Amino acid sequence: MQNVSNVATFAEPSIIGQKSENVVSEGERAIALDTTFVLFFLALDLGQASFTVGLDGLLSMLALVTFIAVPYFLPFSSEKQEFRSWLIGRIVVAAAGLTLGLMLGQAVGVMLPESFRFVPMTLLIVSAIFSCYLQIYGMIRFRLAR
């Protein structure tokens, strides 16, 4: 049986008044936040691996650039912010991840144990699974008919 507050969340906006705007904005922030974590850990992992000029380095950078822009097109029910401001924020997060990844790559084996080399990929996998769950749940969650 559903909680009354959960049912009211998906009800007609005129029934619950101003609260529906807050619920939508919280859902929007959750979508941006989970993909931002995945972007950060992907950039951290790519920054830790030394930049190569070959095909693997090119594909890694292509994956990073793709993941900066593509989550903007994920479906959610709120108004989307301007693409330019979205992209600038994502580029800042990716640059911070690359910088910290470069620093981590230099510190592993010197100041940190060798096992720290696998931390960014582990965190990337965990955050990607969590993000995938949230995206699928957002698409198939129970909604009342209007």
Find the helix packing angle between 119-140 and 83-107, rounded to 10°: 150
DSSP 12: -
62-80 pLDDT, tens digit per residue, is: 989 998 988 888 776 667 7
Residue matched to tokens 């090119």? 58
Q: Which stretch of 21-25, 74-78, 135-139 has the lowest confidence by average pLDDT? A: 21-25
Q: Which pLDDT band, with edges at 50, 70 and 90, does 30 fall under?
A: very low
Q: How far apart are CA 77 and CA 2, in angstroms?
A: 22
Q: How far apart are CA 22 and CA 10, in angstroms?
A: 12
